[in-house]
Amino acid sequence: MISSDKHPAKREVASQSARSHSLSSNFSVDPLYDNVDLRRLYEATLKAVLLEYICEARFYKPLSSPAQERPASLSSRSTSEYRKSRLLREPDTLLPLQLLTDLKAKLHKVAMTQTSSYDELTRRLLLRFYGDLLDPGCISEINRVNSVDILVMKFVSTANKEIIKLGLVPAEEISAAVFEQTGIFIRLIIKLVEKEKNSEALVAKLNEHKASLSPLSTSSTLSSNTTSASSLLSSIKLPKPSFDVSDMDQSHVELLKALFDVDSVQLQRDVTHLKQYVTQKALAKDIEQSMFYTDKDIGSSAPNAFSSEEAYQAWKNRETELCEYLMKKYPVPAPAKLLPAPLLPPGEEFYLMPSKSMTTPFYVSLCKMCMLHQRKQSMSEAAYLILSNKAKDLLLLCARIWRVDAPTRATCFYSAAHISGILLDPLYSPNTKELGPILLETTEIVLQTCKRVVEDAALDWDQREFWSIRDQEEWAKNLSYTFIELFYSLKDGLGVVLSKTVKPKFGPYLKFLEDFVERDLLFHKVEAMSLPKKWEKRLTKAFLRASETLYAGYLARLPRDNTVSIAHVLDIADCLIEDVKLLQKRYKSPLLGFLDLAKNHAALTMGMFASDSKNILKHIVAHAHANGEFLNYGDALEAYKSLCEIRSIYRQVAPSGIFAFDLEQFFLVYLESWVSESGVKIKDFVANALAEDEFKPLDIENDDKKYSTSVHDIFTLIRQYLKILNDIKWENEYQLALIYTSFIKSVSESCLLYASEILGMIMDDLSRDSTKEEDRLNSGAESGWLAEVKSIVNNIQLGNEKIDVQPHTFTPRTCIGLNNLSAMSQQLSKLELFLDIENVSSQVEGQERATKDQFKRHVFSLRIVKAENIKSSSDNIHVKPYLTLVDTLAKRMIAKTRTMNSANPDWDEEFEITVEANSVITLSTTVWEDKLGSHGVCGRALIQLDPRKFKHDGIPQDVYLDLDPDGRILIEVAVENERDDSFFAMGRAHRTLIRSQQRITKMIVAKFSEFIRHCFSRTTLKSVCGGNGNVKPGQAQMDKAMMPLYTYLNVNLLVLAQHLTKDLLILVMLEAWKVVISSADELLLPYVNQCESVETTGNQV
């Protein structure tokens, strides 16, 4: 017997999962579903099975002869026992060994549409029977009986159920249709057994079955409508069902035993007990009662159960059609039409049908039990089915007899799927009243099955307004459960979304959400529950918890002692950035349109890391200071760049958020240290580059590359440092301007050092050339400057174009050195444009207006313009003066001009002196005479460089110094305040480089200016115009007189043109031209002291 327990006898429990059950939540179940009396459900289901059994076609075939009455006379034995004893007497009718294999092959060809000899109905029945043959249980039963009879019986049963299911044949014609299709099947079997040895016996047996299926004349059929009904009823005899369980459809029998946990004995007792209530007459009474309720609008659904009158009328029409179909499907046999109906079971409203209040709960519970049974059967199978074919037939049978409307069937099926738990991921083991992650494949099958149920009833799936209000609400509730289960799966996937090895697949879930949930016409009811908005928050929180957990794991790796270092901070930063990139790569668009995984993860973790990294770095710095150490600025700047990337990402994902770590304030000291050390390295590199420079041009043929490797290497290094500085991407503009200013000062100082070294080197080169030239001249018959002049004058007077005075040999190093200074200036200009020093200076000035007038030192620019009336210290007629500036306090020489062969030298050389703020320096200005042996003093004066006595605007002021004993000097003094300003540093570097170029140019020109002055001397003039100036020379004579000068200049300039750039060569030529003009001017209008000396010389001669 079935227990009266109102809960299922068996409940499937999935295997325990290691994951947390916190993902689950309870869902509401109709109390009627929980309180179903399983005994009453069992009896209602068994009644439906019994009704199907007594209405089989074989029980509607009249008995017309004693031979045909033979099976009925064996009432004391079951039909199966009779068939079994008969089989023992007919061994030739046993199934051939290959028959089942051949039959499957034949039916497979039909399934593959390889044969078209059957109509659509026949083909459908053969395919259904082919499906039964694929069931191992069916094959076992056939092999157990081992007779062709069992094949025929199986096909008859299959054909009968399928034709009824299709509903294409009127009820009164179902038997004839079944007999006709069975005849076709028998002919198929005959063709397959013709090759067997015992084929004659088999064919005879099959023909006997075929003959027994011949329909009777119309006068003896069940659907006779003749007026002699009474006489016909008395003459018709029909076979009576034995109600033996073994004689019933075994698929139904086995399923009932499994679902309700009964054995064959108990089932037989229950069949015996219920058979008195299960008759066609009883069904007709139930239908009559239902139609009465429906006509009175008090049926299972009232008008107010629908949203419109049109929907109610549509349901009413379907209800009426179903009742009429049941009357035709299960007609009352002719002999029983005049018999009274059995007594109504006590406490029941209907004979066969459940009460209208329990129909839906019964059907939901039956669906649930079938699903759980199938899941138990399918646990060991690869392919998972929701329902077996047996269960589908049973549910269809009960739905038909219980008058369950198609939309209600779909809703019940959906509810049962949720209650049974088959829609949940098997990795979880929730209670059947708890929701969890969804099983997509099963849920999709369930929804498609529901849709097919509705559409098979010729209803439009999209016309939900024609459903009852209760069905709509129930469907919406189940849809909300699916929505929640789906989001539980998404929530579960978010827990591992940051895994490096596992990538959760959200695509199938999102597609299912779109295709089956959001497109459902009743989804607006789900939205009305605010579920989407609630789950947006829950998913976001779940993902943020996962992000927090991952971030906490990163922090857990940090050492808890003083061994923590910047490397650990960099590792965490790299992990955070890698996580964001991983999320961006995997999920390019927001999940569900609202959850941007990369953005939310970055906003959370990088915001937390801002404050955590600050505390970690403070701890590292404090520990280093405690040990007397200083944090390596290289590691610190690497940390800054990494944290800058963190900050940049944070600002992108959280524009309104505040990054809790002022990186520039913390790391400024390390950047300053790096820039300071970089400046020292650049200076050292300048010294090394000069020491290793061979002063060979990079490309002698290319005017733009006539400088040597030192310039290229120095500015390559500078650009590398600038690239490193730019790559740091410092954000504080003011601090960056200070850094650039410091760097520019270092570059400027390096340029000053380079210019000083090059100037010193070239001065040494030119000094060595002068010494060689003097040695060459002193080795002649006459020594001194007078011998040289005489030789030149004699050559000119003789008209000899040959020049005894050889041009100076300028070394390539001298020319390349001058080229280097020009290239340095050009590179510095490019650097100035690249750095935009105007912007750098304005940034600093904008923040330091109060300290604008503060300075540390003064820069004096002293331009030694000229001297007048210089007297020789040894009473020589001619003097070669040069000037020195000496710091009287430090006793060191600060500047020295070149030597000029004139009593009124026009030096025009500039020097720079730096004086500390609020201090004064006194310089001794001494004019020396350059002569053999010791140099004599021509005159001396003092100049005091007091910043208070000069304007600090950089504009030169003329200062005349009277020499003691004779002569005076013109010096231009300009004063500037040395400031931490990029303009000042860059300007100073440019001035130094240009000043060095000008000085070297004048020194080079000075090497052949003596010859120029001799060519414009009075002696040369006398050789052309005569001693008294009475000879008027022609153009040819003048050209001949100047030809030695042209030749000399060409030879000198040709030597320089080989190595100097064109611009520098032009500068040299211009400077030489100035000497030419100056010499010609002195010849025309000599100084007064020169006139006196010439006159004195003439008198002496």
> What is the spatial distance between Cα 512 and Cα 402, in angstroms, rounded to a whole number?
33
Q: How far apart are CA 337 and CA 230, in angstroms?
A: 10
CB 617 within 8 A of CB 572: no
> Rounded distance, CA 816 to CA 373, Å?
100
What pLDDT is attached to residue 1088? 57
| pLDDT at residue 420 greater than cutoff 70 | yes
Q: Comparing 367-381, 752-766, 875-889, 1078-1092, which segment has the lowest mean pLDDT?
A: 1078-1092
pLDDT in tens, 243-300: 999 989 898 999 999 999 999 999 999 999 998 889 988 999 999 888 888 888 887 7
pLDDT score of 39 more than 90: yes
In the three-class reduction of DSSP (H, G, I as helix; E, B as strand; rest coil), residue 941 is classed as strand
Residue 285 one-letter amino acid: K
- Give the C-alpha separation, 1085 to 489, whole Å: 108
Q: Residues 940, 925: contact at Cβ < 8 Å?
A: yes
Averaged over 170-190, what is the pLDDT? Answer: 82
Which two three-digit tokens encode residue 332? 């009352």
The per-residue pLDDT for 785 is 37
Token pair listed for 564: 């923590």
pLDDT score for 461? 93
**Peptide linkage before 239 cis (omega within 30 of 0):** no
Distance of CA 899 to the CA centre of its chain: 73
Farthest CA pair distance, the chain: 188
Q: What percent of the chain is predicted at pLDDT more than 70?
A: 83
Place of tokens 């503060």: 854
Q: How high is the pLDDT of residue 417? A: 93
Judging by beta carbons within 10 Å of its beta carbon (0-12, 13-18, 19+), is residue 59 exposed, middle or buried? middle
Residue listed under structure tokens 């646990």: 379
Q: Give the position of tokens 């899941």.
A: 375
To the nearest whole percent, how much of the chain has pLDDT over 90?
30
In eight-state DSSP terms, residue 354 is: P
Burial (0-12, 13-18, 19+ Cβ within 10 Å), 128: middle
| Pairwise CA distance, residues 128 & 112, whole Å | 14
Q: Per-residue pLDDT for 603 more than 90? A: yes
pLDDT of residue 800: 41
Q: Which pLDDT score, from 0 to 100, does residue 116 have?
A: 61
Q: How far apart are CA 175 and CA 169, in angstroms?
A: 10
What are 688-725's pLDDT values in tens digits?
999 998 888 988 888 888 899 999 999 999 999 999 88
**Cα-flanking dihedrals φ and ψ of residue 899, to 5°?**
-85, 135
Q: What is the reported pLDDT for 214? A: 56
Distance CA 319, CA 326 (A): 11
How long a stretch of residues is the chain? 1101
Interval 313-339: pLDDT, tens: 999 999 999 999 998 888 888 777 767
Torsion of CA 67, 73, 78, 80, to 10 degrees: -10
For the cut 70, the answer to whether the pLDDT of residue 1095 exceeds it is no
Contacts of 1064 (CB under 8 A, 6+ apart): 818, 819, 822, 997, 1001
Taking residues 726-737, what's their average pLDDT? 88
What would the DSSP string read from start to end of 184-221? HHHHHHHHHHTTSTTHHHHHHHHHHHHHHT----GGGS
898-945 pLDDT tens trace = 888 788 888 888 888 888 877 888 899 999 988 777 788 888 999 888
Lowest mean pLDDT among 326-335, 392-401, 824-833: 326-335
Q: How confident is the model at residue 233 (pLDDT cuts 50, 70, 90)?
A: very low
Tens-place pLDDT, residues 78-133: 444 434 444 343 555 677 877 888 888 888 888 777 556 788 888 888 888 888 88
Query: With contact defined as beta carbons under 8 Å apart, do 159 and 132 qualify?
Result: no
How far apart are alpha carbons 179 and 269 in whole angstroms?
A: 32
- Give the residue-averaged pLDDT of 469-476: 94
Secondary structure in 3-state letters for 136-162: HHHHHHHHHHCEHHHHHHHHHHHHHHH
**Of 70-84, 357-371, 527-541, where does mean pLDDT reach its minimum?**
70-84
Q: Measured between alpha carbons, how far is residue 891 from residues 894, 921, 922 in Å?
A: 9, 12, 11
Beta carbons of 937 and 961 less than 8 angstroms apart: no
The helix or strand, by DSSP H or E, that contains position 313, with its residue range, turns out to be helix 309-329
pLDDT at 511: 92
pLDDT of res. 205: 77
Instruction: State the pLDDT at residue 999.
Output: 84
Structure token digits, residue 998 = 């000008």
Taking 3-state DSSP, the helix, strand and coil percentages for the chain, each rounded to the nearest 5, stand at: 60, 5, 30
Rounded to a whole number of angstroms, the distance between the first and last alpha carbons of the chain is 164
pLDDT 10s digits, 842-866: 888 777 654 555 667 788 888 888 8
